[in-house]
Amino acid sequence: MAKKRLFIGTLTTVSGIEAVKERIELLGILGKWVEKENIHFTYRFLGDIEEERIPQIKQMLKNKLKGITAPMVTYKGLDVFPNLKSPRVLWIGMKSEEIEEVKRKIDQALMPFGFSPEKIFKPHLTLLRIKKLRHATKFKSYLFQMKEHFFDKKVEQKVCLIESKLTSKGPIYKVLEEIILD
């Protein structure tokens, strides 16, 4: 039975990423940057899904998201996961009133497929997977400066069911379904 590795998210672009990239590289931080065309935020990671279930998931998402207001998103602040002592992922924060409602509807759409609603939803844009940190103090200082930095504000109308193929060069994303919110 063939399966596809899927997630529900929004591919997007945000201004100011190039400046962050230049600064991080000056700080001698090594890692893998997310390719420009792969920058996204994730509503829900689904994992490996049987191909014959995909049309049902698409339909359920379309039904649940009908008439939902597209979220106005403010992209603000740089931070890391899991913490400053051991940073592994550099990301841009997201603030939005409406995004929680979109997430709730997505969780409802997935319940018939055995997915329980997630307790914690922390929308963010992953920029860099950190491999090596050369100047930890300077990096922390830069993050502190960028904690409230405003990157962008825009309406994110698309919710996509995306296939993620993992390759040695990084993931390849393919949009299987695109739903446009009101």
Q: Which residues are catalytic?
A: 40, 124
State the SS3 of the chain: CCEEEEEEEEECCCCCHHHHHHHHHHCCCEEEECCHHHCEEEEEEEEEEEHHHHHHHHHHHHHHHCCCCCCEEEEEEEEEECCCCCCCEEEEEEECCCHHHHHHHHHHHHHHHCCCCCCCCCCEEEEEEEEECCCHHHHHHHHHHHCCCEEEEEECCEEEEEEEEEECCEEEEEEEEEEECC
Interatomic CA distance for residues 2 and 86, integer angstroms: 37
Structure tokens at 134: 């050369």
Distance CA 40, CA 13 (A): 8
